[in-house]
Amino acid sequence: MQPVIAIVGRPNVGKSTFFNKVAGRKISITENRPGVTRDRITADCEWRGKPFTLVDTGGIELKSEDAMWKQIALQASLAVDTADVILFFTDGREGLTSSDHDVADFLRRSKKPVVLVVNKIDDYSADKLFEFYSLGLGEPYAVSSEHSRGIGDVLDCAVARFPVGEESADDSLKIAVVGKPNAGKSSLVNRLLGQERTIVTPVAGTTRDAVDTRFERDGRAYTIIDTAGIRRKRSVEDDVEYYSVLRAFDAVRRADVCLLVIDAQEGITEQDVKIVGYVHEQGKPSVIVMNKWDLIEKDTHTVQAFEEKLRRELKFMEYFRSAYVSAKTGQRLEKLLPLAREVYEHAGARIPTGVLNDLLADAMRVSEPPSYQGRRLKLYYASQAAVHPPLFVLMVNDEGLMHFSYERYLENVIRGAYDFSGTPIRIRVRNKKESE
């Protein structure tokens, strides 16, 4: 597993700006007010040929009695526990504060290598750094994250302190947990991980960023991504929340599998259907997770009724797989990871070319395609061109003769012969003459 660098410090000292500069893209939300970054945010990075995982954290206010600040401090503490090197950020414009001394004392107790970073030094002067030596954490590094100055020196120092050992590529299955606010996504993540990994409160929208955590279960590696709740556009209140929703969509795009969390008490809503539709359009295998199942009054037909409702609302993805769980009690959660791996394997399945052509030829003999102006669709050749999601290319005489309903028929034939449950498949029709 590659080394981990954690960025910590009190609020609003520029940690997220530095994180985004090193990551090369705007992953962490940057806003000029404290408390915007609440959970731990990660990115895979590389410096001078050395790969590492960079972790951004919320600002630490150790003496605050506010419940939210206590949760943020807990997240930062967990990041420190898992880090190999810590970047301690301070503010060169504001100077040292009592909070900086509190954080420094906390980091010393961790006994982890610490690189002291003095950020917001736009015009370097050695005099600006003198007071930071009093923290007792060694030489302070002057940085301007906003203008990308001094970042290389900090990274040189950090990678030099990596533990000696072999580094391996991330081969984990990446699972994005998505859904509306307050569907129980973070509670589900915490249950799966067995730790308070993300902030869980009764207030909808507490998770603002997409939070990655790598873990192992039964000898298999996973990275689970907890995302912000995806609201309807007219419900997004400010820029921070808007970017949080964008992070959730980005998490879907980079995931291998999506767990689509729905509040069973509320039932599937129009917004849930839109979120599921986005995952379908991105070609991601998925599992519909009906959460809060412990709160539902049940009889022998309850699951069947829920399944019928899902089939009606999700006609565009009849291939869906579902699970009925409770993040609160842990009911049936042990089924989720095996189910996620199963639908991912379905998305990677291949049909041999000869078998595929025989299958489709038989299907077209059983049910001929409809004719249009005296012409009928002819299939010359078919092949599977890709996986994740499976893509089937059909060479025909005229792609304009392929009616949507007949394409759906052929998809159902393929699904009837091979288990592609839980994953979309794509059919691309091309004129034979165009490929010659």
In this structure, are residues 74 and 198 in contact, taking their beta carbons and an 8 Å threshold? no
Q: Is residue 436 pLDDT above 70, yes or no? A: no
In this structure, are residues 55 and 70 in contact, taking their beta carbons and an 8 Å threshold? no
The pLDDT confidence band at residue 371, using thresholds 50, 70 and 90, is confident
Q: Which range has the worst mean pLDDT, 79-93, 235-249, 288-302?
A: 235-249
pLDDT per position as a tens digit, 385-397: 999 999 999 999 9
* Same domain, residue pair 130 and 240: no
pLDDT per position as a tens digit, 288-344: 999 999 999 989 999 999 999 999 999 999 999 999 999 999 999 999 999 999 999
Q: What is the CATH number of the domain that holds 96?
A: 3.40.50.300
* Same domain, residue pair 228 and 299: yes
Q: Is residue 431 pLDDT above 80, yes or no? A: yes
Q: Is residue 156 part of a domain?
A: yes
* Same domain, residue pair 24 and 78: yes
Instruction: Give the dihedral sign, CA 76/78/81/84.
Output: negative
Boundary of a domain, candidates 160, 190, 213? 160
273-278 average pLDDT score: 92
pLDDT at 379: 93
In this structure, are residues 395 and 385 in contact, taking their beta carbons and an 8 Å threshold? no
Single pTM value for the model: 0.62
Q: Is residue 166 part of a domain?
A: no
Boundary of a domain, candidates 103, 134, 160? 160
* Same domain, residue pair 116 and 222: no
Report which of 312, 238, 251 is spatially closest to residue 286, judged by C-alpha positions: 251
126-150 average pLDDT score: 89
Expressed as residue numbers, the domain containing 367 is 353-435
pLDDT per position as a tens digit, 175-203: 999 999 889 898 899 899 886 554 444 44
Q: Is residue 18 part of a domain?
A: yes
Collapsed DSSP state (helix, strand, coil) of residue 386: strand
pLDDT per position as a tens digit, 150-168: 999 999 999 999 987 644 4
Pairing mode, strands 41-47 and 50-56: antiparallel
Q: Is residue 25 pLDDT above 90, yes or no? A: no
Q: Is residue 70 part of a domain?
A: yes
Q: Is residue 167 part of a domain?
A: no
Boundary of a domain, candidates 160, 189, 211? 160
256-278 average pLDDT score: 94
The pLDDT confidence band at residue 119, using thresholds 50, 70 and 90, is very high
pLDDT per position as a tens digit, 337-367: 999 999 999 999 999 999 999 999 999 999 9
pLDDT at 70: 66
169-173 average pLDDT score: 77
Q: Which range has the worst mean pLDDT, 59-63, 115-119, 169-173?
A: 59-63
* Same domain, residue pair 125 and 208: no
- Average pLDDT taken over every residue of the chain: 84
Peptide bond into 202 cis (omega under 30): no
Q: Is residue 236 pLDDT above 50, yes or no? A: no
Does residue 31 or residue 376 have the better pLDDT?
A: 376
Q: What percent of the chain has pLDDT over 70?
A: 83
User: Rounded to whole angstroms, how far apart are CA atoms 296 and 306?
Assistant: 11
Residues with Cβ within 8 Å of 85's Cβ and at least 6 positions away in sequence, in order, are 3, 4, 5, 6, 112, 113, 114, 115, 158, 159, 161, 162
The pLDDT confidence band at residue 110, using thresholds 50, 70 and 90, is confident
Q: Which range has the worst mean pLDDT, 37-46, 129-138, 193-202?
A: 193-202
Report which of 268, 320, 309, 257 is spatially closest to residue 291, judged by C-alpha positions: 268
Collapsed DSSP state (helix, strand, coil) of residue 155: helix
Q: Is residue 273 pLDDT above 70, yes or no? A: yes
* Same domain, residue pair 28 and 143: yes
pLDDT at 79: 76
pLDDT at 230: 73
Q: Is residue 179 part of a domain?
A: yes
* Same domain, residue pair 279 and 361: no
* Same domain, residue pair 113 and 177: no
268 alpha carbon, distance to own chain's centre: 22
Q: Is residue 372 pLDDT above 70, yes or no? A: yes
Query: What is the total count of domains within the chain?
Result: 3
pLDDT at 71: 66
Q: Is residue 12 pLDDT above 50, yes or no? A: yes
In this structure, are residues 248 and 230 in contact, taking their beta carbons and an 8 Å threshold? yes
123-151 average pLDDT score: 88
pLDDT at 161: 92
* Same domain, residue pair 335 and 357: no
* Same domain, residue pair 216 and 275: yes
In this structure, are residues 217 and 232 in contact, taking their beta carbons and an 8 Å threshold? no
* Same domain, residue pair 247 and 363: no
The pLDDT confidence band at residue 86, using thresholds 50, 70 and 90, is very high
pLDDT at 10: 87
Query: How close are the terminal C-alpha atoms of the chain, in Å?
Result: 47
pLDDT at 41: 75
* Same domain, residue pair 268 and 413: no
In this structure, are residues 288 and 322 in contact, taking their beta carbons and an 8 Å threshold? yes
